[in-house]
Amino acid sequence: MNAKAWLKYRGRRSAWRAGCLLGGSRAKSWRDVGGLLLAIEVLSPSTAQQDRVKKRRLFAGAGVPEYWIVDPEVRVIERWRPGDDLPELCNKTLVWHPAGASAPLVLDLPALFRTALGD
Protein backbone atom coordinates (compact mmCIF):
# COMPACT_ATOMS: atom_id res chain seq x y z
CA MET A 1 0.00 0.00 0.00
CA ASN A 2 1.24 3.51 -0.77
CA ALA A 3 0.65 6.48 1.49
CA LYS A 4 1.09 10.12 0.62
CA ALA A 5 2.64 12.19 3.38
CA TRP A 6 3.00 15.94 3.55
CA LEU A 7 6.34 16.80 5.12
CA LYS A 8 7.38 20.29 6.10
CA TYR A 9 10.83 21.78 5.88
CA ARG A 10 11.75 24.85 7.86
CA GLY A 11 15.14 26.39 7.27
CA ARG A 12 16.52 29.63 8.62
CA ARG A 13 15.12 31.67 5.77
CA SER A 14 12.65 29.41 4.01
CA ALA A 15 9.94 26.87 4.55
CA TRP A 16 7.98 24.57 2.28
CA ARG A 17 5.84 21.51 2.27
CA ALA A 18 6.54 18.41 0.21
CA GLY A 19 4.38 15.43 -0.64
CA CYS A 20 6.09 12.06 -0.25
CA LEU A 21 4.71 8.87 -1.71
CA LEU A 22 5.82 6.05 0.56
CA GLY A 23 5.26 2.33 0.76
CA GLY A 24 3.75 1.37 4.10
CA SER A 25 2.76 3.84 6.77
CA ARG A 26 2.48 7.62 6.65
CA ALA A 27 5.67 9.52 7.41
CA LYS A 28 5.53 12.18 10.10
CA SER A 29 8.97 13.72 9.50
CA TRP A 30 11.86 13.56 7.04
CA ARG A 31 13.60 11.07 9.36
CA ASP A 32 10.74 8.60 8.73
CA VAL A 33 11.38 8.70 4.99
CA GLY A 34 14.83 7.13 5.24
CA GLY A 35 16.05 7.99 1.77
CA LEU A 36 14.38 9.49 -1.26
CA LEU A 37 15.24 8.08 -4.66
CA LEU A 38 13.80 11.00 -6.58
CA ALA A 39 12.40 14.46 -5.85
CA ILE A 40 10.25 16.22 -8.47
CA GLU A 41 9.26 19.87 -8.50
CA VAL A 42 6.93 21.57 -10.97
CA LEU A 43 8.39 24.98 -11.66
CA SER A 44 6.41 28.16 -11.25
CA PRO A 45 7.79 31.63 -11.95
CA SER A 46 7.32 32.71 -8.34
CA THR A 47 9.46 29.86 -6.93
CA ALA A 48 12.00 29.28 -9.72
CA GLN A 49 14.97 30.67 -7.78
CA GLN A 50 14.11 28.62 -4.69
CA ASP A 51 13.58 25.43 -6.73
CA ARG A 52 16.74 25.75 -8.80
CA VAL A 53 19.07 26.79 -6.00
CA LYS A 54 17.86 26.21 -2.44
CA LYS A 55 15.84 23.04 -2.90
CA ARG A 56 18.38 21.54 -5.28
CA ARG A 57 21.13 22.04 -2.70
CA LEU A 58 18.90 20.68 0.07
CA PHE A 59 18.11 17.48 -1.85
CA ALA A 60 21.71 17.00 -3.01
CA GLY A 61 22.96 17.53 0.54
CA ALA A 62 20.46 14.95 1.80
CA GLY A 63 21.82 12.39 -0.67
CA VAL A 64 18.80 12.30 -3.00
CA PRO A 65 20.20 10.72 -6.19
CA GLU A 66 18.02 12.73 -8.58
CA TYR A 67 16.05 15.97 -8.52
CA TRP A 68 13.84 16.81 -11.48
CA ILE A 69 12.50 20.29 -12.13
CA VAL A 70 9.58 20.15 -14.54
CA ASP A 71 9.18 23.34 -16.56
CA PRO A 72 5.78 23.05 -18.28
CA GLU A 73 6.18 26.40 -20.03
CA VAL A 74 9.10 25.19 -22.15
CA ARG A 75 8.22 21.47 -21.82
CA VAL A 76 11.56 20.43 -20.38
CA ILE A 77 12.63 18.45 -17.34
CA GLU A 78 15.87 19.60 -15.73
CA ARG A 79 17.55 16.49 -14.35
CA TRP A 80 19.93 17.22 -11.51
CA ARG A 81 22.24 14.77 -9.75
CA PRO A 82 24.53 15.50 -6.78
CA GLY A 83 27.72 17.13 -8.00
CA ASP A 84 26.18 18.47 -11.23
CA ASP A 85 27.13 22.01 -12.16
CA LEU A 86 24.48 22.06 -14.87
CA PRO A 87 21.35 19.97 -15.34
CA GLU A 88 20.70 17.48 -18.08
CA LEU A 89 17.90 19.07 -20.10
CA CYS A 90 15.40 16.43 -21.19
CA ASN A 91 12.74 17.18 -23.79
CA LYS A 92 12.33 13.92 -25.71
CA THR A 93 12.83 10.79 -23.61
CA LEU A 94 13.83 10.49 -19.98
CA VAL A 95 15.04 7.11 -18.71
CA TRP A 96 15.27 6.61 -14.96
CA HIS A 97 16.63 3.34 -13.58
CA PRO A 98 17.22 3.61 -9.84
CA ALA A 99 19.42 1.07 -8.10
CA GLY A 100 17.49 -2.09 -7.30
CA ALA A 101 14.73 -1.52 -9.87
CA SER A 102 14.10 -4.46 -12.19
CA ALA A 103 13.34 -2.22 -15.18
CA PRO A 104 13.75 1.44 -16.01
CA LEU A 105 10.97 4.00 -16.13
CA VAL A 106 10.93 5.43 -19.65
CA LEU A 107 9.05 8.69 -20.14
CA ASP A 108 8.03 9.98 -23.56
CA LEU A 109 8.16 13.65 -22.62
CA PRO A 110 6.31 15.17 -25.61
CA ALA A 111 3.41 12.75 -24.96
CA LEU A 112 3.55 13.40 -21.23
CA PHE A 113 3.38 17.17 -21.66
CA ARG A 114 0.60 16.90 -24.29
CA THR A 115 -1.49 14.85 -21.88
CA ALA A 116 -0.70 16.95 -18.81
CA LEU A 117 -1.29 20.27 -20.56
CA GLY A 118 -4.36 19.18 -22.54
CA ASP A 119 -2.95 19.60 -26.04
Q: What is the CATH number of the domain that holds 85?
A: 3.90.1570.10
Range of 107's domain?
A: 35-117
Asked if 50 and 104 sit in the same domain, the reply is yes
- Say which amino acid occupies 21: L
Asked if 2 and 49 sit in the same domain, the reply is no
> Is the pLDDT score of 10 beyond 60?
no
- Provide the pLDDT confidence category of residue 95 given band limits of 50, 70 and 90: very high
> Is the pLDDT score of 27 beyond 80?
no
Q: Give pTM, 2 decimals.
A: 0.75
Asked if 44 and 21 sit in the same domain, the reply is no
Are residues 48 and 30 in contact, defined by beta-carbon separation less than 8 angstroms? no
Asked if 63 and 96 sit in the same domain, the reply is yes
Asked if 20 and 61 sit in the same domain, the reply is no
> Is the pLDDT score of 32 beyond 50?
yes
E-strand stretches of the chain: 2-10, 15-23, 39-42, 67-71, 76-80, 88-90, 93-96, 105-108
Q: Any idea what DSSP says for residue 37?
A: S
Give per-residue burial for 10-26: e unless 16+ CB within 10 Å, then b: eeeeeebebebebeeee
Asked if 69 and 99 sit in the same domain, the reply is yes
Asked if 43 and 101 sit in the same domain, the reply is yes
Number of domains in the chain: 2
**CA 18, CA 73: separation in Å to the nearest integer?**
22
